[in-house]
């Protein structure tokens, strides 16, 4: 539902809500899932992102997002210098994901130490984004909720267990999506919440032996 501040806003660094603000949000989401600033990022740009990214500051915006700069932070202008300062290396590539893929799409491969992560995300307009893939899992998340993403061994009862943790900590679930690579293989749960999840609840979830990893993504204003 559209609100007053979707009309009178957002306040953002220009020039484009889709190619700059949305691109920045994709970087922010990749960073949030990784849990820290990446040491290295390979950024693949598809379609209009590749064709007009340079003039729209798309590359700077994604790098800025990976560094944790929000869409209204003027440091996005000199995101490359900020990256050098933070010691984050990055590389850009042009990619053709096919005609069926939205023109404002990027694939971000980020790594820090032994941790690696690949996300595919699209800037769908007005600064809104949708992440459609995390590693090999199809997902759908926009970063406009506090979100828990967890990879798990696919076993019966896991959803009920997770739900009970939220029920105990009094956090309301907005949406929940489970995707898996195959029967009884790995599953990825994407859970959008109406409030941030507490550290205790997160630790509890991480303690289950079927949880491979769990990360929270703070709501991006």
Partner 1 sequence: MHRSVAALIEDAREHQLSLPEVVIRSEMAESGRPREEIRERIARTLAVMRGAIEEGLQGDMRSPSGLTGGRAARLHAHGPRLLGETVTAILARAVGTLEVNAAMGLIVAAPTAGAAGVLPAILASASDILDADDERLVDAMLVAGGVGGVIAHRASLAGAAGGCQAETGSAAAMGAAAVTWLGGGTHDQVSTSIALSLQGMLGLICDPIGGLVEIPCIYRNASAAMQALAAAEMALAGLDFPVPADEVIDVMGEVGRKMPVAYRETAQGGLAATPSARRLVQIQPTRSPSGISR
What residues make contact with partner 1 under the rule CB under 8 A?
Answer: 1-17, 20-21, 48, 51-52, 54-57, 60, 72, 74, 76-77, 125-127
- Residue 2 beta carbon to partner 1: minimum distance, rounded to whole angstroms: 5
How far from chain centre, in Å, is Cα 216?
10
Compare residues 48 and 120 and give the one whose CB is closer to partner 1.
48
Give per-residue burial for 41-65: e unless 16+ CB within 10 Å, then b: bbbbbbbbbbeebeebbbbbbbbbb
- Residue 28 beta carbon to partner 1: minimum distance, rounded to whole angstroms: 17
Compare residues 143 and 152 and give the one whose CB is closer to partner 1.
143
Compare residues 13 and 150 and give the one whose CB is closer to partner 1.
13
- Residue 125 beta carbon to partner 1: minimum distance, rounded to whole angstroms: 6
Compare residues 93 and 125 and give the one whose CB is closer to partner 1.
125
Compare residues 51 and 212 and give the one whose CB is closer to partner 1.
51
Contact 17, 127 (CB under 8 A): yes
In this structure, the strands spanning 115-125 and 40-46 are unpaired
Contact 146, 196 (CB under 8 A): yes
Q: Is the dihedral of CA 119, 29, 176, 154 positive or negative?
A: positive
- Residue 194 beta carbon to partner 1: minimum distance, rounded to whole angstroms: 11
Opening angle at CA 181, ends 179 and 31, nearest 5: 65
Compare residues 77 and 177 and give the one whose CB is closer to partner 1.
77
- Residue 115 beta carbon to partner 1: minimum distance, rounded to whole angstroms: 31
Residues ≥6 apart with Cβ < 8 Å to 87: 39
Phi, psi of 36 (to 5 degrees): -165, 175
Contact 128, 29 (CB under 8 A): no
- Residue 84 beta carbon to partner 1: minimum distance, rounded to whole angstroms: 18
């Amino acid at each position: 539902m559209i609100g007053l501040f979707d009309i009178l806003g957002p306040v953002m660094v220009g020039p484009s809500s889709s190619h700059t603000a949305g691109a920045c949000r994709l970087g922010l989401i990749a960073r949030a899932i990784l849990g820290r600033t990446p040491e290295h990022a390979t950024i693949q740009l598809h379609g209009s992102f590749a064709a007009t990214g340079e003039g729209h500051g798309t590359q700077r915006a994604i790098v800025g997002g990976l560094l944790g700069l929000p869409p209204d932070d003027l440091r996005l202008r000199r995101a490359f210098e900020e990256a050098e300062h933070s010691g984050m290396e990055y590389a850009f590539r042009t990619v053709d994901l096919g005609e069926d893929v939205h023109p404002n799409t990027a694939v971000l491969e980020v790594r820090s130490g032994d941790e690696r992560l690949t996300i595919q995300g699209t800037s769908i307009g007005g600064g809104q984004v949708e992440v459609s893939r995390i590693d090999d899992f199809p997902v759908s998340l926009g970063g406009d909720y506090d979100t828990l993403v967890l990879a798990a061994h696919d076993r019966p009862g896991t959803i009920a267990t997770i739900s009970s943790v939220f029920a105990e900590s009094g956090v309301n679930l907005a949406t929940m999506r489970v995707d898996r690579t195959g029967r009884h293989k790995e599953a990825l749960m994407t859970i959008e919440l109406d409030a941030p999840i507490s550290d205790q609840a997160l630790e509890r979830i991480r303690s289950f032996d079927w949880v491979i990893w769990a990360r929270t993504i703070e709501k991006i204003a």
